[in-house]
Amino acid sequence: MTVAPTLGALDREIEARADRLRSPSYVMRPDVLGAARLTRYSFSRSMLRRANAEGWTAERTLLDLDADGRGEAVYTVDTGNQQFQFVAFTTTIDESMHTDRVIAGGWEITACLVEGELDAALMGRLRSEIPLQEEGRLDSRVLVLTRGNRSVRFFGYLVDELAAGRQPDTDHVGDAGYIMRSTAFYGNGKCGMRSFAGYPTGHPLAVPYRAQFVCAWMFRELSYDSVEHCARLKGHDDAVGFDDSWRRYFGLGNATGLGLVPYAFKHPRVIDAWATVRELALADVREMAADAERLAALRDWIDRAERHFASGTDEPCEPFLSPRELVPVVQSIRAALDACAGEDRPFDALYRWAESIDAETSEFVTSLLVELHDGDDDLMDDLLAVDEYSSADPSDTAGAALNRIDQRFGWLADLGLETDDADHFWWVVSDNTEEPRRANRSRLEPEGRDVAIDVGLRMWRLRSALAEIDPSTPMSTVLEREPDHRLAVERLEQSNRPFGEPRDNACAADYLPLQIQRFQLAMYGMDNFKPKSTDWLRVTLFQGAPRISDLADGITDDWVLPERPWSTA
């Protein structure tokens, strides 16, 4: 997304902490990115914090479902001076049709987020267009388009238990973490919807991804209401709703695959902003002096994390650790904090210890420490909106460009880019799935259809070419002679941010997509990373989060890492 330039604001914040920020050589390492965890500045949490601070209200204004949960639902969000409507159309489909693919033939839930009043004419248009998803046509009143399915394993089970007057068996559903699973949240002008640039200054959703996460929060609310509605119609007087131990536990499921990888490699300034927000907060906390209240708060977060993971699954989650495998990691962090508590800067000491252990520990400690940050949410929101425009300077010289490559991409020399394995895969949008895929170059040539995320290879080849010519040669002449380097030259101009480049080669034979995926998902606010292959994984969003009715009484920001309910009353 492209908005008014704010790179200056980023630079000012970085300069103020220049000697305290972690090095990009560490932060952007693949294994470090692949150990990222959500923080208080992840999008789900910053959205709810904003809703609470500004006194938003939300309510269900329509639930017209039959006994099987088919029908319509509307939820209204009021920010004080503007209203938004989450409009959902629900049905049932055969379980064999459940898929997370873009090309799915149908979904059990199709929905959208709309700005303004919902009159009969608009509702009629949404009723005909929203179930069509990408084949439908919308207008600028629609901000987000989404869809998903019920959990095949748990939706019916939860209905049966509540209908019989029972709460669910924690051993049966406790590891699931969700009732419904979303498969997409489209915005930014797709299908005729409003583009991000169309949000005026001061608009409550004029922050990257805020509209999508309001939509996801409403989707999660629909999952609860659908189960309880079906249970009431099935069990009549015997039916109960979720009790207090379960009413916040379930989040919204999601499955994410290779589609995230091209985004990360194509948007270096966005990735930089995401990482920078976290790094600024971490740097501030590491500077904090010893304080009994802050130490106690950190211990509370460590205790919460241990209870959460101890109540989780021990099913293998390679290459990540399972929840039960994370318990000793949490315990080691507690012991290290006790050892550091007497130092002048205990949080800095704790972090330095964590980095000396491994990436999993360092990123876990990072997420815990950021919980102590009491920063300016307005500033953090502003830092997320970046200008992605750049253009090559035609008066630039080969020597100057070569120097910039060495300064910004010196790490490429460690990737073995001259080997055959370095160019093993190429990336394409599949004709069959309409989603990004990677193909073995020895089996299938791209024939001009590849998605250009081979940043490392292109930059390395540009460097080799520049090293062989007169340094005074204008870059315009270089591109006239060798136009294949144009994308690399343009990328060099974009890559002026410290945290914008994952230090990896997406085309390598041993490239692991899960690592950059996890970094992105953690920034969204997702957790419970459960890989299903090297290419895709399942996650949970808003698990433990407040419900819409909680807004009226005010909500806190400590809802993450919920413990699995043990009661089966």
At residue 433, does pLDDT exceed 70? no
Q: How far is CA 476 from CA 386, 392, 398, 423, 489, in A?
A: 28, 9, 9, 27, 10
267 within some domain: yes
Q: What percent of the chain has pLDDT over 90?
A: 79
CB 265 within 8 A of CB 453: yes
With cut-offs at 50, 70 and 90, classify the pLDDT of residue 271: very high
With cut-offs at 50, 70 and 90, classify the pLDDT of residue 77: very high
pLDDT at position 172 is 86
pLDDT at position 95 is 72
Helix (H) or strand (E) holding 275, with range, is: helix 268-286
At residue 202, does pLDDT exceed 50? yes
- Which DSSP string corresponds to 118-137? --HHHHHHHHHHGGGGGGS-
At residue 181, does pLDDT exceed 60? yes
Question: Which single residue is written with the structure tokens 């433990």?
Answer: 544
Same domain, 359 and 290: yes
Same domain, 20 and 56: no
Mean pLDDT throughout 510-521?
97
pLDDT at position 524 is 97
| 425-429/436-440 β-pairing | antiparallel
Same domain, 361 and 268: yes
pLDDT at position 73 is 98
Same domain, 77 and 215: yes
Gap between the Cα atoms of 197 and 49, Å rounded: 24
Gap between the Cα atoms of 376 and 442, Å rounded: 51
Summarised one tens digit per residue, pLDDT across range 405-416 is 999 999 999 999
Sequence-distant (≥ 6) Cβ neighbours of residue 153 within 8 angstroms: 176
240 CB neighbour count, 10 Å cutoff = 17
Cα dihedral 47→52→53→57 (10° resolution): 100
Instruction: Please count the structural domains in the chain.
Output: 3
Mean pLDDT of the chain: 92
Same domain, 50 and 197: yes
555 within some domain: no
pLDDT at position 104 is 59
Same domain, 189 and 221: yes
Closest among 54, 20, 33 to 381, alpha carbons compared:
54
With cut-offs at 50, 70 and 90, classify the pLDDT of residue 4: very low
Mean pLDDT throughout 269-276?
96
With cut-offs at 50, 70 and 90, classify the pLDDT of residue 479: very high
At residue 102, does pLDDT exceed 70? no
Residue 549, helix vs strand vs coil: helix
pLDDT at position 252 is 97
For residue 455, give its domain range: 398-494
Summarised one tens digit per residue, pLDDT across range 364-382 is 999 999 999 998 899 999 9
82 within some domain: yes
Mean pLDDT throughout 255-279?
94
pLDDT at position 391 is 79
- The single-letter code of the amino acid at 369 is L
Mean pLDDT throughout 334-349?
96
At residue 243, does pLDDT exceed 60? yes
With cut-offs at 50, 70 and 90, classify the pLDDT of residue 541: very high
Same domain, 104 and 197: yes
364 within some domain: yes
What is the SS3 assignment for 301-366? Answer: HHHHHHHHHHCCCCCCECCECCHHHHHHHHHHHHHHHHHHCCCCCHHHHHHHHHHHHCHHHHHHHH
Least confident of 20-24, 92-96, 309-313: 92-96
Same domain, 453 and 378: no
Closest among 285, 296, 280, 293 to 365, alpha carbons compared:
285
Gap between the Cα atoms of 77 and 60, Å rounded: 9
Q: How far is CA 28 from CA 124, 275, 367, in A?
A: 48, 9, 16
Same domain, 276 and 345: yes
Which region holds residue 437: left if phi is over 0, alpha if psi is between -120 and 50, else beta? Answer: beta
465 within some domain: yes
Q: What percent of the chain has pLDDT over 70?
A: 96
At residue 3, does pLDDT exceed 50? no
Same domain, 182 and 87: yes
Gap between the Cα atoms of 415 and 430, Å rounded: 27
Residue 498 CA from chain centroid, whole number: 20
Gap between the Cα atoms of 255 and 537, Å rounded: 6
Helix (H) or strand (E) holding 297, with range, is: helix 292-310
At residue 519, does pLDDT exceed 90? yes
Q: Which two tokens stand for residue 426?
A: 């190429």
Cα dihedral 18→285→34→258 (10° resolution): -80
Q: How far is CA 270 from CA 41, 179, 257, 275, 386, in A?
A: 15, 31, 19, 9, 7
Asked which of 208, 224, 258 is the last residue of a domain, the reply is 258
Same domain, 142 and 238: yes
Gap between the Cα atoms of 461 and 463, Å rounded: 5
pLDDT at position 310 is 95
pLDDT at position 2 is 41
Gap between the Cα atoms of 92 and 206, Å rounded: 35
Mean pLDDT throughout 232-243?
96
CB 518 within 8 A of CB 320: yes
pLDDT at position 569 is 45
Mean pLDDT throughout 256-279?
94
pLDDT at position 206 is 95
With cut-offs at 50, 70 and 90, classify the pLDDT of residue 96: low
Same domain, 369 and 224: no
- Which DSSP string corresponds to 471-537? TTSBHHHHHHH-GGGHHHHHHHHH--STT---SS-TTSTT--THHHHHHHHHHHTEEEEEESSSS-E
Mean pLDDT throughout 449-471?
95
Residue 23 DSSP class:
P
Gap between the Cα atoms of 290 and 221, Å rounded: 41
pLDDT at position 444 is 84
Mean pLDDT throughout 58-84?
97
